[in-house]
Amino acid sequence: MAEARPFIPLAIAVLTVSDTRDLAGDRSGDTLQARLAEAGHRLHDRRIVRDEVEEIRAIVREWIADPGVDVVITTGGTGFTGRDITPEAIEPLFEKRMEGFSALFHRLSFDKIGAATIQSRATAGVAGATYIFVLPGSPGACRDAWDGILKAQLDYRTMPCNFVEIMPRLDEHLRRRKS
């Protein structure tokens, strides 16, 4: 941690994917909202959407297009049942995949729940200069992902590198095409 560097708060949108939850019963969304606020970030928006590919994509596309959103975190729909379609909905939106996120998430998860981590298809990527993290629907998985990966990587003071310091260059390919 480079304490001499300033903390840069990010605008984070949280999407819970579930056919059965509402805001009152959304413990995973609550976990993410509390942790991002505790870290000093700002909740830009929070919604719940049914397990429907086009509904999920519509919201995530809206947030990707919004210059006020830096990060999107989804929770839910990463398993193997017929209704678990969040990776299928979001991965086609990625311009770049973040393979290391899934690997590190599974490493951290293995330490807590053992081989059961194989039942998650947590993933991440970048689209439109917006980071997108797709997490399982349990509060424990959200805690593990935030505490073990996201909290540090979304903090400009984290050294030797973090996601915040490269944010201004995420859309270089888009600017290059226009010029």
Q: What is the pLDDT of residues 40-86, one digit of tens each?
A: 999 999 999 999 999 999 999 999 999 999 999 999 999 999 999 99
Average pLDDT over residues 103-125: 96
Position 177 in a domain: no
Residue 37 has pLDDT above 60, yes or no: yes
Count of structural domains, the chain = 1
Neighbours of 176 (CB within 10 A): 8
Q: Residue 99: which residues within 8 A CB-CB, separation 6 or more?
A: none
Q: CA-CA distance, 140 to 77, in Å (whole number)? A: 15
Structure tokens at 92: 């086609």
SS3 of residue 47 by DSSP: strand
- How many residues in the chain? 179
Q: Residue 85: which residues within 8 A CB-CB, separation 6 or more?
A: 51, 52, 53, 56, 77
Residue 177 has pLDDT above 70, yes or no: no
Average pLDDT over residues 3-27: 94
Position 70 in a domain: yes
Which residue range(s) make up the domain with 40?
11-171
Position 1 in a domain: no
Q: Which of 87, 176, 98 is nearest to 131 (CA)?
A: 98
Position 6 in a domain: no
Residue 25's CATH number? 3.40.980.10
